[in-house]
Amino acid sequence: MEFGRIGDMGQRKIKAERRKKKNKEILRYTQDDGGRQNDGGRIQNDGGRQNDGGRDSGRARFWFGKVGIRGILRENWKFLVILTMGIVLLYLNAMRGDFVSDDYATIPNNPLIKDMSAGFKGLNVVYISNVIIARLFGVTPLPFHLYSLFLFILTCVVAFLFLRVLFGEKVAKLTTIIFAVHPIHVEAVSWISGKPYTLASMFMLAALLVGVFLVETRKRKYLIWMIIFALLAYQSDAARSLSFIFLFLLYLWFRGGLGGMKKQFYRYLPFVLVVITTGIVILWPGIKTRIESVNSGYNRVGSIFYNPFFQYPTSVTKYLQLMLIPADLTLYHTMYTVPVWLNWLVLVTFLSLLIYSFFRDRKIFFGLSFMFLASVASMAPVKVGWLVAERYMFLGSLGFCLVLVLFWDRIPKKLKLVKLTVFVCLIIGFTVRTFVRNIDWQTNHKLWVNTVQTSPNSHNAWNNIGDDYDKLKDYENAIKGFTQSTVMKANYADAYHNRANIYLKTGRLDLARDSYLTALKYSPGLFQTYVSLTQVELMQKKPEKAMEYAKKTVEMQPNNFQAHYVLGVVLAQSGNREEALKEIKISLQLNPNFGPAKDALVKLNSDESK
């Protein structure tokens, strides 16, 4: 009997050892959740202790579970369903929105919006999705809004999975809830043209998630999926997708500290170098073009580089303020009213906390670093975009939400009511602000009224509200908007041209000419301004000046069908019928479907028959 009992005990011990070995192969680390068992006690943390000061003891611990991603989804499906329903309700008023701002150029006014071959030509995920939606549902705003909302929901789900693996269920759920209701995301979600930021963020998070499993399991399938998701992120937003490299390195550090990161870094060094080199080679022509367009003509203001002593204190402070107190949300952030010394104080405090947490609290360091590593392309010192834009911080805000939860979780348990009150007030405040901000994006007029109110020193905002009044046929207010734009920026050629258009519509030809010529003074390459000047001179019976401007249009753009048409019209009115026919035919060769040229050809031929 004793031998039997000893044998049974031996068998149980052997089986236990086998299970333990198997579990170690599938699951090598478990997340520290206060020393408690996770998910029904399936796997218990046996080494991820923290002292009272919150300092990490040993390297970071992770929970994967035997069932992996599917298992996490299965165990948390109720939470995810409730989260999805909440997001849908929160953004329901955004679904009523029209096309606004840049939407017009990319969708309703885009002649190739239903051209599938054009959509797949550049393999841009955003463009392809726009073409598919337009072909399936037509060029109406609602399907595009629903697609953006769907992408945001997917992003929240992937963010939850990523955080669940690294920080456990409690932190993941609370962080995802704050992320889902944060008002800074409205610009990327409610604005159809903000879709690239949502898509790229979703794919980068997916690449990070499978990257974690790649490092922990060494399975090839995760490497394949990580490459696929990284490429999809690149095809969604090429420049910002490079943040994935920095975020993946941050994860390697978080996983094993300095020593662990060193080992992992050398293991993945060839892959990282290939990706960085390839990215620079591919992106450089586009980056160079972007730099030249942003910093040329009337846009040029000194160097193509930001002054780092202004850029970083200002932008870091502004982003932190927008994430903590999102009061002054606007498309154009130009009101930097915080004193310089306070900007520097915030920056120094942030960097001090970053350095302290690097040595004392890797979780806080991970969240703080994630904020700006996810937005590293937008924080570059080269002027390739706005100094601050809410959509730039779409993914980075996940790090901010994580830091909020980590600090909130350290409020003593005896202040349980205070903790609950703080969290509920935060969610309610963010939810209300998001709902109200959605209203601003419902129509062009609401958007630009809000923008000029929040950013009254923005020449872009005044120019756009002038354009909006033009569409509403409120010409006097349109003139005021364009004029105010020139007050904000005296060399802003677009505003002078747009104001001249209103003068032309209302028959004030002398004022129109003066405003067009002022636009050319600041930007001599404005093709459309020469076309409009030609029209003004024809209306005032000055064929010589009209001919001068018409020839200039052909000289500037010899392959432009409109230029040849304009020259043909001037030649016809000057009695030079043969040359006019020649120019009209060239216009039709360049664009056989150009209606005005067809009509002009018919008229010229009918005049000949008479």
pLDDT digits (tens, 9 = 90+) for 29-42: 333 443 333 443 33
Q: Which residues pair with 382 in a beta bridge?
A: 305
Q: Which residues pair with 38 in a beta bridge?
A: 43
Nearest by Cα to 245 from 225, 271, 263? 271
Q: Which pLDDT does position 237 carry in this prediction?
A: 86
Q: Which pLDDT does position 378 carry in this prediction?
A: 82
Nearest by Cα to 242 from 371, 376, 124? 376
Average pLDDT, the chain: 84
Q: Which pLDDT does position 33 carry in this prediction?
A: 41
Say whether pLDDT at 1 is over 60: no
Question: What stretches of 375-474 show up as alpha helix (H) in DSSP?
Answer: 396-408, 416-440, 444-454, 459-471
Rounded CA-CA distance 456/448 in Å is 11
Say whether pLDDT at 248 is over 80: yes
> Contact at 8 Å (CB) between 156 and 87?
yes
Q: How confident is the model at residue 347 (pLDDT cuts 50, 70, 90)?
A: very high
Q: How confident is the model at residue 24 (pLDDT cuts 50, 70, 90)?
A: very low
Q: Which residues, other chains included, contact 65 with Cβ-Cβ below 8 Å and sequence gap of 6+?
A: 27, 39, 42, 43, 71, 72
Q: How confident is the model at residue 198 (pLDDT cuts 50, 70, 90)?
A: very high
Q: Which pLDDT does position 50 carry in this prediction?
A: 39
Say whether pLDDT at 495 is over 80: yes
* 344 vs 297 pLDDT, higher one: 344
Nearest by Cα to 343 from 308, 304, 379? 308
Q: Which pLDDT does position 111 carry in this prediction?
A: 86
Residues of the chain above pLDDT 90, percent: 59
HSE-CB of 472 using CA atoms within 13 angstroms: 15
Q: Is 43 helix (H, G, I), strand (E, B) or coil?
A: strand
Say whether pLDDT at 469 is over 60: yes
Say whether pLDDT at 388 is over 50: yes
Q: Which pLDDT does position 10 carry in this prediction?
A: 53
Neighbours of 220 (CB within 10 A): 9
The least confident of 2-11, 144-153, 336-345, 465-474 is 2-11
